[in-house]
Amino acid sequence: MLGNLLKRLLHRSPATTSHAARGAGAADCGWLNEALRLQQAGRHREVVAICRSALAREADDTDALNLLAAALCAQGESREGITCLRRVTQLVPHSAEAHDNLATVLAATGDPNGAIESYRHAVRLHPELAAAWNSLASLLKTLSRYDEAEECCRSGLRADPRHAGLHRTLSGALFEQGRVDEAIAAARTALALYPDAPAAHSDLVRMLNYADAQDPPAVYREHRVWAERHARPLEEAAAAHRNDPDPTRRLRVGFVSPYFRKHAMTFFFESVVEHHHREKMEIFLYADVAQPDEYSERLKAYGAAWRRTVGMSDEQLAQRVRNDGIDILVDLSGHTPYNRLLAFARRPAPVQVTWNGYPNTTGMAGMDYRITDAYCDPPGTTEHLHSEKLARLPRIYMAWRPPREAPDPGPLPALESGRITFASFNSCFKITPALVALWSRIVDQVPGSRLMLLTINGSSAERRILNLFAANGIEPGRLEILPRMTHEEFLTAHRRVDIALDAFPYHGTTTTCFSLWMGLPVVVLAGATHVSRVGVSMLSNIGLPQLIAQNGDAYVAIATRLAADLSGLASMRAGLRGRMLQSPVTDGRSGARALENAFREMWADWCQRQTRR
């Protein structure tokens, strides 16, 4: 965000140029031209000195104030930079651009409320300023204020209907409200306006995984289109590798993610770093993590080499990987936000793998393998939907680390309340109309039952959910919609639930593990591809295949059968945590060994191909 501001301030606008500078001759602007040249060269300290000299001569020179702010922010001295920008807004109070610049820095330096106020001031002054509308909407979306974000997008699009960024931001806001089909349509519009935007294109292919009526071959083709458009030119230009093709030597394995912190991905990753064979494998973490936390520090403590990649371009990241001599590079994001697939497209490592963070193919020829298991991708069923070769681990494709702070499950709530409480702890964008129809049948067939739902963000999303249930004959009184809550409150909420209902077509992963850990049987509906088979893997691995339905009628039947057997539910609740601890789902040591063995086979295959050349 600050980088965009710096570029903006290097291009002066008449609206924010001082009266003195506008009236000055070319000779008087020599300092300004020199400051601009130095700023473009990244010589910020020299710019600061020149601007201070200019301000000593003319204290209200807005050019000097803007450039000084840019140079100070580039050096991390944002507080004084903000002071300069506030002064500019006082000198040219009717400049929407000045308020927009101030808002950008406030947002980037941790003052979202101040940024929102300044952005709103900018668009009041200049309602046609589509970029400011987009910045405001993006900030509101980041703060989970999705209704307001949508409203800002629509205001901006009235000013500029062809603003690709606004269509993309609108798509994200609609998606978070659970309006997946509308979000996909907005994403397609954004991409049509700006087809060379890989991140926006990734948004589209990711959202397709959540669509109610899925066509897996069509979804695969969309992934391939992404790869052909954005990755293939880079793949074709990649240089050869000079790694030593010794199949027995110690491997250098790199993992790439923006989420090496408290995040769902880390719950399934930490055990790999903790239990890796240090004498056989050296781990590097390429971390787009601006603010490391206790989870980050734990990963470092296990002996992983931490490579901070914040601010690096994809090209710079790829070069860093090559410089580190990485043998196997692992993507942990797929097409999720902030991914680094275009670094992988540059082929920085001989063997490249995708795992953990995304339940589908990348579509890339330069991604050699995708880690999975035989439950998520039964052999012979989904190979044609992947650009990668599927590498199936023996039991489960990743192991989950239980939370240290989780409370005990407690007794079955229905024994005290006299009624069954169902719940889904999945995000609202996983709640499709077809799924609501199934849940409504369950609630209707279990007298007195209610359904608890979580993460319904904003009034529009809540209205959508209530309307979907009302259309299926379920009154609002049968539903409990929980507000946003802390992680600790989230875990405690499970103590009020008897049975968890998984989402479809996009299964829960972390949410399913938490529900099982808190003693809740999870009813899942099996689909045809990985995205709708994660629950199949988890329940099969803990020995509860009877909770897996093969069709909608069976899904309803399993849930209602569980609800009719309170003693069976109480017994299952009491034993689920122990069952998980004895299963591959939480066996991090075995999971790390299985992954290492897969890496070793991949490496041996690469080495063999080198010797045949």
Residues making up the chain, counted from first to last: 613
Q: Element (H or E) spanning 370, and its range?
A: strand 369-373
Q: What is the DSSP letter of 91?
A: H
Residue 234 to residues 279, 331, 332, 338, 610, Cα–Cα distance (Å): 34, 17, 20, 19, 22
pLDDT at 13: 42
> Considering the entire predicted model, what is its pTM?
0.92
DSSP class per residue in 282-332: EEEEEE--SS--HHHHHHHHTTPEEEE-TT--HHHHHHHHHHTT-SEEEES
SS3 383: helix
Give the model confidence (pLDDT) of 287-304 as tens digits.
999 999 999 999 999 999
pLDDT averaged over consecutive 10-residue blocks of the chain (613 residues)? 56 45 53 88 92 94 93 91 96 96 93 97 97 97 94 97 98 95 98 97 98 93 98 94 96 98 95 95 96 95 96 97 98 97 98 97 98 98 98 97 92 96 95 96 98 80 93 96 88 96 97 97 98 98 98 98 98 97 97 98 96 74
pLDDT at 612: 73
Residue 314: CA count within 13 A, CB half-sphere: 15
Angle at 357 between CA 351 and CA 138, to 5 degrees: 120
DSSP class per residue in 138-205: HHHHHTT-HHHHHHHHHHHHHH-TT-HHHHHHHHHHHHHTT-HHHHHHHHHHHHHH-TT-HHHHHHHH
Bridge partners of 525? 549
Alpha-carbon distance 59 to 49, whole Å? 14
pLDDT at 459: 83
pLDDT at 202: 98
- Are residues 179 and 195 in contact, defined by beta-carbon separation less than 8 angstroms? no
pLDDT at 438: 98
pLDDT at 5: 58
Q: Of the candidates 496, 424, 258, 281, which has an alpha carbon nearest to the alpha carbon of residue 356? A: 258
Residue 597's contacts (CB-CB under 8 Å, 6 or more residues apart) are: none
